Amino acid sequence: MAEAVLFEVKDDVAIVTLNRPERLNALNEDIHAGLRAAFERIEGDEGIRAVLLTGAGRGFCAGADLMQSLAGASAAEKRDLGASLEKDYNPLVRRMRALPKPIVAAVNGVAAGAGMNLALAGDIIIAAKSANFTQAFVRIGLIPDAGGTYFLPRLIGEARARALAMLGETITAEQALEFGLVYRLFDDAVFQEEALKMAIGLAQKPTQALAAMKTALNGSADNGLDAQLDLERDLQRKMGYTPDFVEGVKAFVEKRPARFTGRAG
Ligand code: T3D
């Protein structure tokens, strides 16, 4: 049986590919286990400085595997969806947000339900022009999970978030761009190449600064201005002692491109 999550490292980028194309990469136990293993490796390997998360085949991710939702001997247990969020989805979303390395979520095709929200947990979300997005939850009597009710209003505002969640309509990649849900679109033919290029570019940037940016931006969702200014001060103090700050300034003075190592000290 093919691995449910493919993992490859290229030019300091971990390429994590959801790999159940026949099910549009719907999330089952195998995918969750594969993602846990992938992120454990990414967290533990200093040589990995960026992540590219994408899907195999024509889909990015069609959300939870509905074929397995209620099937099997333990159907009653499976209806405790809170337990499945607690075990699989919530730790994954927390992990992605806390990861001290940038994640490019490269939405190559349909992103539905928790599959869409998995993409939103990334740092930079890009999409192929043929991709589409849907908060499919309402169609099966659920609410958006996997961080959807947190990310959506912050990314696209209350009005659009509520409409997408309640209507469960599908939006095109162009609409997602217009809404501010994704950063950039690429033609399908060059999508994977451009996504990798973006991730490799991120892997060459000052990794400590990108990690600190994630901390600061995560904090800004909940902090007031005073707390956020304090957080910026504390993080910038740390940045001042990184070799990449010294290299960045030196490169500027010497009028050459900086060669960042991403090292902490
Ligand atoms: O159980 C829990 O843990 C609950 C937690 C829920 C969190 C959630 O994510 S809820 C949202 C779950 N996802 C959905 O409701 C989306 C279901 N899928 C669709 O509505 C459509 O497949 C799409 C709109 C995404 C794409 O449509 P289309 O026409 O491009 O493709 P298709 O023909 O429907 O799908 C292709 C195959 O993938 C098909 O299999 P088949 O008929 O060729 O054997 C289809 O059944 C399968 N597939 C698509 N989505 C899922 C799936 N199989 C299992 N689970 C899926 N979510």
Does the Cβ of 66 fall within 6 Å of ligand 1?
yes
Q: Is 102 in the pocket of ligand 1 (CB under 6 A)?
A: no
Looking at ligand 1, which residue's alpha carbon is closest to its atom 54?
A: 65
Nearest-atom number in ligand 1 for the CA of 24 is 38
**213 ligand 1 Cβ < 6 A:** no
Q: Which residue CA neighbors atom 21 of ligand 1 most closely?
A: 62
Looking at the chain, list the stretches that DSSP marks H as alpha helix, in order from N- to C-terminal side: 29-44, 66-69, 75-78, 81-84, 90-98, 114-120, 148-156, 158-167, 173-179, 191-203, 207-220, 225-240, 243-253
Provide the pLDDT for residue 236. Answer: 98
- Give the residue whose CA is nearest to atom 47 of ligand 1: 23
The finding on whether 214 has its CB within 6 A of some atom of ligand 1 is no
Per-residue pLDDT of the chain (265 residues; tens, 9 = 90+): 689 999 999 999 999 999 999 999 999 999 999 999 999 999 999 999 999 999 999 999 999 999 988 776 566 777 899 999 999 999 999 999 999 999 999 999 999 999 999 999 999 999 999 999 999 999 999 999 999 999 999 999 999 999 999 999 999 999 999 999 999 999 999 999 999 999 999 999 999 999 999 999 999 989 999 999 999 999 999 999 999 999 999 999 999 999 999 999 8
Q: Which residue's CA is minimally distant from atom 5 of ligand 1?
A: 64
Report which protein residue has its CA nearest ligand 1's atom 20.
136
CA of 64 to the centre of ligand 1 (A): 8
**Distance set, CA 177 to CA 38, 61, 171, 184 (Å):** 29, 18, 10, 7
Q: Please give the distance, rounded to the nearest whole angstrom, from the Cα atom of residue 255 to the centre of ligand 1.
A: 52
How much is the pLDDT for 14? 98
* Overall pTM > 0.85: yes
Query: What does the pLDDT look like over 142-187, one tens digit per residue?
Result: 999 999 999 999 999 999 999 999 999 999 999 999 999 999 999 9
- Please report the pLDDT score of residue 159 as a whole number: 98
Residue 220's pLDDT is what?
A: 96
